[in-house]
Amino acid sequence: MRPRPSPLDIPELAERCISLLHDSYDDLVACATVKRSWTYFAQSYLFKDVGLSIEDGSCARLLDVFTDSPHLIRFVLRMNVWVEFMSPEEFAALAALPFLNIRVLHICSRREPSSQAATAIQQFLALPRLEYVKLKYTLRDLDQFERTLERASPSIKHLLLCLESTQGSPALVFPSPKTRTTTTQTRMQISSLRMVGDSTFLRWLATGRSAIDLSRLRTLDLRGCDSTILCTPAFASAAAGLEVLHVDCFIVPHEPC
């Protein structure tokens, strides 16, 4: 007579039990040690949301974990990275991993990313299932930022940009249309855009020469920007399809719209 299966061996029951503990790290770790069959479900929650924002060697340890157990990479759905808390080599190694399931990506820094970091950011932005991106750092070279966006995944629909000029640096310079080379077939068509801070990048978007297509924009949220930019042809044409508009901006005197 075959023994009755233990309730712990029923996959649906195990997944349900573990899902109720999804926000408790200690409980998930404990679940991973109950039975081998529970490990998979616990790991899927433990690595669902990865944050690297403390200068404590966490990036090096995470790289070791993913190197030893590459199956964990597919569980990562959200990633929050502070670039300045890891070496350029660590950031490049992290960007080279096959994070094929990441939907939400936050990349932040209190200083301008180096050229090596910009290349790593470009790799992250090319992830095939990426939907929401937040970029927050100081910026001086719009040409470099444009190259960062050129290979961005068409799956990106929501963009939050907090870009500020480097303190004490010359003003941001628009990319030259004569020297700019676009390597993508289509521009990034986003449905929501939130801009915070420096208006220079917003003015660049208004020229219609950027890698971002505003024609399918449905939500626009501007904070601390020059609101007269909304009168430009690029934003005026996008306004027809807007469903949500939030403007908390200042006004720079210009000619009437």
Write down the pLDDT at residue 210: 79
Write down the pLDDT at residue 170: 44
Please give the C-alpha separations between residue 116 and each of 41, 121, 160, in angstroms, as whole numbers: 36, 9, 22
In this structure, what are the phi and psi dihedrals at residue 194, rounded to the nearest 5 degrees?
-125, 125
> pLDDT per residue over 120-166, tens digit each?
999 999 999 999 999 998 877 777 788 888 889 999 999 999 887 65
Show me where the domains of the chain are located.
Answer: 9-46, 48-250
Cα angle vertex 107, ends 89, 247, to 5°?
A: 160
> Which residue, 223, 200, 220, is CA-closest to 145?
200
Task: Round to whole Å and give the CA distance between 93 and 84.
Answer: 15
Tokens of 106: 């936050």
Cα Rg, the chain, nearest whole Å: 22
Write down the pLDDT at residue 77: 97
CB-count burial class (<10 Å; 0-12, 13-18, 19+) for 5: exposed
Write down the pLDDT at residue 169: 44
In the block, which residue shows the tokens 């075959």? 2
Q: How many CB atoms lie within 10 A of CB 27?
A: 16
Stretches in the chain below the pLDDT threshold 50: 167-174, 176-185, 254-257
CATH of 48-250, one of 3.80.10, 3.20.19, 3.20.20, 1.10.600: 3.80.10
How are beta strands 244-250 and 219-226 bridged, if at all? parallel
Task: Round to whole Å and give the CA distance between 226 and 249.
Answer: 6
